[in-house]
C-alpha cells in the first residue's frame, strides 16, 4: 500500500471517530440538560408544595367572593343580636334575608343546655356561609352562659384576679376552660380577652374586667388566655382598640373622651395590642371613644380613619378582621345616624358591624351607600375577603362534635379554684 493511501485511510478513520465522538458528546449534553430541567422542576414542585395551603386558601376565598352578590357580601359584614330564647319567625326571616356573617348570644338566649344547642343549630341552619356564633364570656361580671338552667358552668373570677397571679400557665388554662365550655354549645367566637389597661381608678366600665393596671401584666396574662381559647377551637376577639382603660365615661351611655396624644398611647395602651398582633391576633374590636388630640375632632375611634386605618392597619400592621363594639350603644346612637355609622366605620377600615338595631335596615343602608358611591364595592370586597379567610382558616365550615361532658368537669373546677388559692 502506498504512502498516500495509508494517509487517506487514517484521515477517514479520524473523521469517523470525530463524528462518533461528536454525537456521543451531544447526547451527553442533552441528558445533562434534561437532568437539570428535572431537578429545577422538582425544586419548583417543592416550593409549590410549601405554599399550597396558603395558595389554596386564597384561591378558595377569591372564588367564593367572585360568586357572591353585593347583598351577600354586605350580609357577611353584619353580626345580629336577638334577645329572646324563643326562635321566632321574625328572627328566622331576618337571618334568611340578610344572611349575616355572625350572631351574638346573650343571657336571654341561654336556657337549658339542649334548648340552647337547638336554638344555635337553627341559627346556623339559615346560613349558606358558616356564621361566627359569638358571645361575651369574659369571666367576672360578664359571663352570659351562667344563666344556664340545668348544668352548673364555671364561675370564672374577674380577669384582674387572674392578673394578680400573673401566671402564664394558669391564664392559658383558664382560657382553655372558658372556651371548652362555650364550644360545647357550638359557640366558636368569644369577645375576649380584654386588652384594656385599668389605669384610671374611676373607670367603672372596664375596672376589674382588665387583667391589670400596667401593660406588661395585661400582656403576660391576656395573650396566654387567648391561646388557651384558640386551643379549643374558639376565636378570641381582642378588645377595645385603642384602649378603654383610661376613661371615666361609659360608652354604653355617653361618648368617653381620651385626651392622650398618639405618643402617649404608644407608651402604654397600644403596647398590649401590638403584642397581640405580633402573636397572630385574628380579630380585634374597636372602642367608641374620642381621641381629639389624635384625630383633631371628637369622632369615636370606631368611625375614625386616623385610628383604624392609620394606627391599627398601617402602623401596627393588623390585617385581620376588625369588628365594632355594639353600635346600639349611646356613644354612637346619640351622635350619629345609621347611615353615618355605616359610612364612616367601613371607610375607616372596619370589617364587621356588631349589633345594629335592625339588621335589615343596616344591610339596605350599606347597599345604598355602595350604589351612590359613598362606599366602593372594592372596599366591601376587602372586608369580605378578610371575613371569609378567618372562617376558612378556623374551619367553621366543618361540623364540630359538641361535647356536653366538657362542662363542669373536675379538671375545669380545679383550674378555676387555683385563681383564688
SS3 for 295-306, per residue? HCCCCEHHHCCH
- Beta partners for residue 139, in sequence order: 142
Where exactly are the structural domains of the chain?
Answer: 73-417
Q: What is the pLDDT of residues 403-418, one digit of tens each?
A: 999 999 999 999 999 9
What pLDDT is stored for residue 26 in this prediction? 61
**Residue 339 CA to chain centroid, in angstroms?**
25
Q: What's the residue count for the chain?
A: 421
Structure confidence at residue 46 as a pLDDT band (50, 70, 90): very low
Can you tell me the distance from the alpha carbon of 218 to that of 391, in angstroms, rounded to the nearest whole number?
Answer: 27
Of 61, 185, 191, 190, the C-alpha closest to 123 is 185
Can you tell me the distance from the alpha carbon of 129 to that of 99, in angstroms, rounded to the nearest whole number?
Answer: 8
Q: What is the sign of the dihedral through the CA atoms of 239, 241, 245 and 248? A: negative
Q: What is the pLDDT of residues 65-77, one digit of tens each?
A: 999 999 999 999 9
What pLDDT is stored for residue 165 in this prediction? 97
What pLDDT is stored for residue 49 in this prediction? 54
Query: 334, exposed or middle or buried, with CB in 10 Å at 0-12, 13-18, 19+?
Result: exposed
Contact status, residue 289 vs residue 257, Cβ threshold 8 Å: yes
Of 213, 196, 175, the C-alpha closest to 272 is 196
Percentage of the chain exceeding pLDDT 90: 83
CATH class for the domain made up of 73-417: alpha beta
Query: Which residues are tagged catalytic?
Result: 252, 325
What pLDDT is stored for residue 119 in this prediction? 98
DSSP letter at 309? I
What pLDDT is stored for residue 14 in this prediction? 61
Amino acid at each position: 500500500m502506498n504512502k498516500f493511501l495509508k494517509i487517506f485511510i487514517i484521515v477517514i478513520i479520524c473523521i469517523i471517530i470525530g463524528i462518533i465522538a461528536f454525537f456521543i458528546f451531544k447526547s451527553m449534553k442533552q441528558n445533562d440538560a434534561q437532568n437539570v430541567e428535572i431537578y429545577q422542576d422538582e425544586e419548583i414542585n417543592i416550593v409549590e408544595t410549601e405554599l399550597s395551603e396558603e395558595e389554596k386558601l386564597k384561591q378558595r376565598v377569591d372564588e367564593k367572593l367572585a360568586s357572591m352578590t353585593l347583598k351577600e357580601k354586605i350580609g357577611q359584614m353584619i353580626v345580629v343580636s336577638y334577645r329572646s330564647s324563643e326562635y321566632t319567625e321574625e328572627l328566622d326571616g331576618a337571618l334568611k334575608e340578610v344572611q349575616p356573617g355572625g350572631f351574638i348570644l346573650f343571657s336571654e338566649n341561654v336556657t337549658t343546655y339542649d334548648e340552647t344547642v337547638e336554638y344555635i343549630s337553627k341559627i346556623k341552619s339559615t346560613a349558606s356561609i358558616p356564621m361566627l356564633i359569638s358571645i361575651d364570656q369574659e369571666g367576672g361580671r360578664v359571663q352570659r352562659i351562667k344563666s344556664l338552667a340545668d348544668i352548673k358552668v364555671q364561675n370564672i373570677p374577674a380577669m384582674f384576679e387572674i392578673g394578680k397571679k400573673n401566671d402564664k400557665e394558669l391564664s392559658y388554662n383558664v382560657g382553655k376552660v372558658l372556651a371548652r365550655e362555650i364550644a360545647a354549645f357550638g359557640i366558636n367566637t368569644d369577645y375576649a380577652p380584654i386588652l384594656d389597661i385599668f389605669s384610671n381608678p374611676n373607670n367603672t366600665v372596664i375596672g376589674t374586667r382588665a387583667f391589670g393596671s400596667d401593660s406588661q401584666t395585661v400582656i403576660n396574662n391576656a395573650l396566654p388566655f387567648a391561646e388557651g381559647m384558640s386551643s379549643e377551637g374558639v376565636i378570641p376577639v381582642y378588645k377595645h382598640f385603642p384602649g378603654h382603660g383610661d376613661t371615666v365615661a361609659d360608652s354604653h351611655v355617653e361618648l368617653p373622651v381620651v385626651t392622650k396624644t398618639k405618643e402617649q398611647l404608644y407608651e402604654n395602651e397600644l403596647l398590649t395590642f401590638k403584642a397581640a398582633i405580633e402573636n397572630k391576633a385574628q380579630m380585634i374590636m374597636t372602642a367608641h371613644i374620642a381621641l381629639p388630640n389624635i384625630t383633631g375632632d371628637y369622632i369615636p375611634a370606631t368611625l375614625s380613619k386616623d385610628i383604624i386605618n392609620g394606627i391599627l392597619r398601617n402602623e401596627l400592621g393588623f390585617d385581620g378582621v376588625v369588628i365594632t363594639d355594639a353600635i346600639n350603644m349611646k356613644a354612637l346612637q346619640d351622635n350619629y345616624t345609621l347611615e353615618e355609622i355605616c359610612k364612616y366605620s367601613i371607610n375607616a377600615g372596619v370589617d364587621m358591624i356588631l349589633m345594629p338595631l335592625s339588621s335589615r335596615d343596616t344591610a339596605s343602608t350599606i347597599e345604598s351607600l355602595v350604589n351612590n358611591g359613598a362606599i366602593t364595592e372594592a372596599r366591601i370586597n376587602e372586608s369580605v375577603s378578610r371575613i371569609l379567610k378567618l372562617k376558612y382558616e378556623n374551619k367553621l365550615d366543618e361540623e364540630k362534635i359538641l361535647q356536653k361532658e366538657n362542662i363542669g368537669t373536675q379538671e375545669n373546677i380545679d383550674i378555676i379554684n387555683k385563681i383564688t388559692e
